[in-house]
Amino acid sequence: MSRLYGGRWQLLNAPRLGSGGQSEVFRAKDTSGQLQGEFALKRVGSPKRHERFRREIDAIKRLSHPNIIKLIDHSALDDASTAEEKQFLVMPIAEGGDLSTPGRLALYKGSVDAVLQVAKQVAAALALAHSNAIIHRDVKPQNILFTGMGHEVWLTDFGICLIREQPRVTETPEIMGPRAFLAPELEEGGQLDVTSAADVYSLGKVIYYMVSGGIILPRERLHEEKYRKIFASGERYHLLELLLRKMVCPVENRMQDMESVIREVGKIEGWERNARLLAIGPDGLASLRETSAPFIRHCARHQRQRQCPSARSRHFG
């Protein structure tokens, strides 16, 4: 039997759930009997990443939210041994894969409702992180996991997040986050003490990636016809384009917080319903009364004349 992680977690003889430059993720089971089923064990491969490992655990422990991956167990934080089994964390398995999976991504191409459903959840998770002084800095499709076959998501991988009261651990000029979804203020080892606006930019790129079926928008080129033509399918697409123009743009013109993004997403979600209600709302009724008043008075006068013989004779005389 293979060695156990943390004295209880045994890797299963199954394909890896994922891998990257800094870690590998395996299926594992709890041999202690405390928990049943299968779990995801993320193993940190390099002791040089120990500080990032500590940071990821610290961030997840601070954040309790239905759209942020839960931490089930982890190795001791004070052990920076070179033995790879010394650094690990255990989380639930995202049975629906991540957003970069081709079959998953196909669900969102041209589906504004589904795209907004995912975007709102990620924005809500990031809003909580920001309220706890944590900037994710690595928002990308691979870090948006699906709990199952539906549209419910977990945001994961806080390994390069910025926790404001802690000293940074990224050595200049190392670049933060995925270049394709990276905020421009972080490029080329740029400003590291960023604000929540950096995550706003990256989420905007992810939204475009979803609605376009996997096209990665280069920098702030949404105004170019080949990138904006996907929004020519109706008013809600136009509203989504307007939102992205306020997210994927230079930081001085960008939305600065996730609460603003969530409000705008809500407006797009409810656009059709609000459009139907507009004509019978208070303002609509007042306008209708004002424009209809002359016609109503004319009809009332005509009705009185029909009921009164003398009036009728004067009217037709």
> Of how many residues is the chain composed?
317
The Cα 4–Cα 9 span in angstroms is 5
Separation in Å, CA 286 to CA 106, 283, 289, 315: 45, 5, 5, 32
CA dist., res. 159 & res. 60, Å (int): 10
Q: Which residue has the tokens 């404001």?
A: 164
Catalytic residues: 138
pLDDT score for 234 = 84
User: What is the per-residue pLDDT for 281?
Assistant: 53
Which pLDDT band holds residue 128 (cuts at 50, 70, 90)? very high
pTM: 0.79
Write down the CATH number for the domain with range 9-91.
Answer: 3.30.200.20
CATH 3.40.50.300 fits 102-274, yes or no: no
DSSP structure class, residue 224: S
The predicted structure's pLDDT at residue 169: 47
Q: Which of 255, 162, 238, 155 is nearest to 204 (CA)?
A: 255
Does residue 170 surpass a pLDDT of 50? no
Report CA dihedral (284, 285, 286, 287) to the nearest 10 degrees. Answer: 50
Domain edges within the chain? 9-91, 102-274, 286-312
